[in-house]
């Protein structure tokens, strides 16, 4: 019945900054841009980004009267983060550091995986995960 996650939506008040991060730092590719002229909140600008077979829909209401507040640090109900699989945690963190991105925490290394977290320009958490496959245990 269900096949896959089609896309993830990311609402931002600073789309060019967000696109620079996801494209320039994380390596997403821009697929398409469009504007929906009429929504209850006003015009909506959309940019579809792709990484592998994952689509990130970057959304912005450019005429919104109030800015989007920074997300509180505490946990909230709903989605908590975007998680990206990396082939090499140390290499990924070194590449990010070269682009000015430091981890919010980590790396935390366990026998089966390594994890770290970075933040996008709006403060949204992005987990980095390296799966360490052992011959004695199948993961996924």
pLDDT tens profile 5-54: 889 999 998 999 999 999 999 999 999 999 999 888 889 999 999 999 99
Residue tagged 């070194």 (tokens): 94
Which pTM was predicted?
Answer: 0.81
115 in Cβ contact with 129 (< 8 Å): yes
Structural domains present in the chain: 8-60 (3.10.180.10), 82-131 (3.10.180.10)
List the beta bridge partners of residue 82. 126
CA atoms of 112 and 138, how far apart (whole Å): 10
CA atoms of 77 and 68, how far apart (whole Å): 18
């Amino acid at each position: 019945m269900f096949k896959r996650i089609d896309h993830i939506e990311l609402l931002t008040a600073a789309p060019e900054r967000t696109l620079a991060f996801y494209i320039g730092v994380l390596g997403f590719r821009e697929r398409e841009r469009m504007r929906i002229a009429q929504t209850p909140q006003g015009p909506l600008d959309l940019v579809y980004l792709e990484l592998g077979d994952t689509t990130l829909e970057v959304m912005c209401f450019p005429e919104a009267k109030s800015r989007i507040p920074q997300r509180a640090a505490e946990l909230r109900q709903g989605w908590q983060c975007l998680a990206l699989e990396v082939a090499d945690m140390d290499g990924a963190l070194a590449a990010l550091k070269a682009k000015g991105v430091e981890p919010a925490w980590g790396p935390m290394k366990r026998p089966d995986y390594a994890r770290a977290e970075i933040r996008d320009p709006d403060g949204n958490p992005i987990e980095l995960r390296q799966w360490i496959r052992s011959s004695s245990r199948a993961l996924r």
